[in-house]
Amino acid sequence: MKIAIAGTGYVGLSLSVLLSQHNEVHALDIVPEKVKMINEKKSPIIDDYISKYLKEKNLNLHATIDYKEALGNVNYIIISTPTNYDSDKNHFDTSSVDDILAKATDINPNATIIIKSTIPVGFTENARIKFNNPNIIFAPEFLREGKALYDNLYPSRIVVGEQSNRAKIFAELLSEAAIKNDIPTLFVSSSEAESIKLFSNTYLAMRVAFFNELDTYAEVRGLNSKQIIDGVGLDPRIGDHYNNPSFGYGGYCLPKDTKQLLANFENVPNNIVRAIVDANATRKDFVANQILKRDPKVVGIYRLTMKSNSDNFRQSSIQGIMKRIKAKGVSVLVYEPTLNEPTFFNSPVTHSLDDLKSECDIIVANRMSNDLKDVVDKVYTRDLYDRD
Phi, psi of 301 (to 5 degrees): -105, 115
Give the distance from CA 235 to its chain's centroid. Answer: 29
What residues have CB less than 8 Å from 338, skipping those under 6 apart?
305, 311
What residues have CB less than 8 Å from 43, skipping those under 6 apart?
13, 37, 50, 51, 54
Total residues found in the chain within this entry: 388
State the pLDDT at residue 145.
82
- In whole angstroms, how far apart are CA 141 and each of 171, 183, 218? 12, 14, 35
User: What distance in Å separates the CA atoms of residue 334 and residue 349, rounded to the nearest whole number?
Assistant: 5
Look up 253 and say whether it is catalytic: yes
State the pLDDT at residue 309.
59
- In whole angstroms, how far apart are CA 43 and each of 28, 50, 55, 62, 167? 14, 7, 9, 13, 29
Q: What is the DSSP code (8-state) at residue 343?
A: E
Which member of 4, 63, 253, 362 is catalytic? 253
State the pLDDT at residue 144.
87
State the pLDDT at residue 72.
95
Query: Domains (ranges, CATH) in the chain?
Result: 2-188 (3.40.50.720), 197-380 (3.40.50.720)
In Å, the largest CA–CA distance within the chain is 64
State the pLDDT at residue 306.
67
Q: What is the DSSP code (8-state) at residue 358?
A: H
State the pLDDT at residue 205.
96
Decide: residue 144, CB within 10 A, 0-12 exposed, 13-18 middle, 19+ buried. middle
Radius of gyration of the chain (CA): 22
Instruction: Calculate helix-pair angle for 254-264, 190-221, nearest 10 degrees.
Output: 120
The H or E element that residue 97 is part of is: helix 95-107
List binding-site positions for NAD(+). 29, 34, 83, 118, 145, 256, 314
Which stretches of the chain drop beneath a pLDDT of 70? 306-312, 314
List binding-site positions for substrate. 142-145, 197, 242-246, 250, 306-307
User: What distance in Å separates the CA atoms of residue 164 and residue 193, rounded to the nearest whole number?
Assistant: 14
User: What distance in Å separates the CA atoms of residue 47 and residue 147, rounded to the nearest whole number?
Assistant: 6
